[in-house]
Amino acid sequence: MVAITIFTMSVVITPIFQGLGAFFVSLERHFGWSRTILSGAFSLSRAEGAILGPIEGYLIDTLGSRMAVLIGLLILGIGFVALSYTDSILWFYISFLIVFAGAGIGGFMPLIAAINNWFIRKRTTAMAIGMTGINLGGLLVPLLTFSIVSLGWRSTSLVIGIGALILAIPISSAIRNRPEEYGSKPDGIDEHEINEIESESPINLDEIDFTVKEALRTKAFWAITAAHGFSAVSAVTISVHIIPALTDIGISLQFSGVIVSIYTVVGVIFQLLGGYAGDKLSKTRLIAFFVTIQALGMFVVATVPNMSGAILFAVLYGAGFGGRIPLLTSIRGEYFGRKNFATIFGVSQVPMNLATMFAPIAAGYIFDVQGSYFIPFLGLSILNMLGAFSILLAQKPSHPNNATHIT
């Protein structure tokens, strides 16, 4: 039930990010704004995430995922309604900040925190299933682009905003915070099953929880954060610039949405494969493998600017991005436990969001100066490879209560 709830919520949230490029193309054509200016709104939202990430995480650990989702969706809806009335750069920036504040509070973080609370033995698989909505939501991008072309970006934004406001209560009411609140244990097991399961499985059902301070003192925290940050810069930049980049080489806005759908479908397949493999094999090696595949996708889109290159990019990028998503999330739960998961994740977002804050605006600026995405996309490919190397340094830490030093 938790995975289904996460799936549903992800499908609601994801088109916002997967379809950003379609909005940007329309705004560029309507107002004549440069891509540097348009990218700046996204970068400001990442700065907001860097500042509020630890606070959002603490609120989730304190109030629970259900309340966070309710508040976040309401804010999100208000933001999209405001976006539909945009008539200036200032109003555009303000409305975008509201949208991303809502998405930050009620989107990805509370959902993965809920899954982390409910699963231990099959944590990565559960996260992979729950987060397939992150990719499947991309299948709605062609519908989004059709709506923008047919109805206009203002009407489309207004519909999304009203939809979020209507769905806020029914979606949040389906969220279940922790199994202990319902007299259960993670994985749905009973007390008398614990001894039998632990004798058959190498996974400890009584995980030791790290505090935020203890997690920050581990090498693993920083290695995971670096790997996630170096790989995430591609994701946030692609969400903003891939559709404009494709339309620049002669691909229509509608078919650009199809390209997004291709890497979406591929991403779903490899996300499930990555989740299943992550419960059985080394997470660090799997992450390194998938991030390398993502890097190859970025290399292709930088060097092969035509339809064939776009399709090959979609396959490679979808496989790499999809495979790494559940692994980079579940490894934090495996290493640092359940109690402070959202806060620890939120703290890790500070350096991550600072990195991703500059990537989209830098890509937009370079395009405005050179008229090409070659350098930004090639640079992202190199950063992805640094991420693949970083994760190999993330060895599971010993808890300070069980060791004489922090590893």
Residue whose C-alpha is closest to residue 359's, from 225, 242, 251, 250:
242
pLDDT in tens, 144-159: 888 888 999 999 999 9
**End-to-end CA separation in angstroms for the chain:** 37
**CA separation for the pair 249, 292 (Å, rounded):** 26
For position 9, what pLDDT does the model report? 64
Inter-axis angle of helices 341-370 and 219-248, nearest 10: 40
Q: Tell me the domain boundaries of the chain.
A: 2-179+202-391
Residue whose C-alpha is closest to residue 244's, from 155, 312, 305:
305
Residue whose C-alpha is closest to residue 129's, from 276, 239, 228, 26:
276
- Report mean pLDDT in 10-residue bins for the chain, 407 residues: 60 66 82 82 68 79 88 92 92 89 83 84 83 72 85 92 91 83 72 51 62 93 94 87 90 86 89 91 95 97 93 96 92 89 87 81 89 94 96 89 50
- 3-class secondary-structure state, position 394: coil
CATH no., domain 2-179+202-391: 1.20.1250.20
Assigned token pair, 77: 């809806």
Give pTM, 2 decimals: 0.75
Q: Say which DSSP state 25 is in.
A: H
**CA separation for the pair 207, 193 (Å, rounded):** 16
Are the C-beta atoms of 388 and 227 separated by less than 8 Å? yes
Q: Count other Cβ atoms within 10 Å, centred on residue 139.
A: 18
Q: Which residues contact 90 (CB under 8 A, 6 or more apart)?
A: none
Residue whose C-alpha is closest to residue 322's, from 132, 190, 116, 43:
132
Q: Which residues contact 301 (CB under 8 A, 6 or more apart)?
A: 242, 245, 309, 310, 313, 317, 373, 377
Residue whose C-alpha is closest to residue 25's, from 234, 252, 236:
252
Say if residue 154 is exposed, middle or buried (CB neighbours under 10 Å; 0-12, 13-18, 19+): middle
For position 202, what pLDDT does the model report? 47
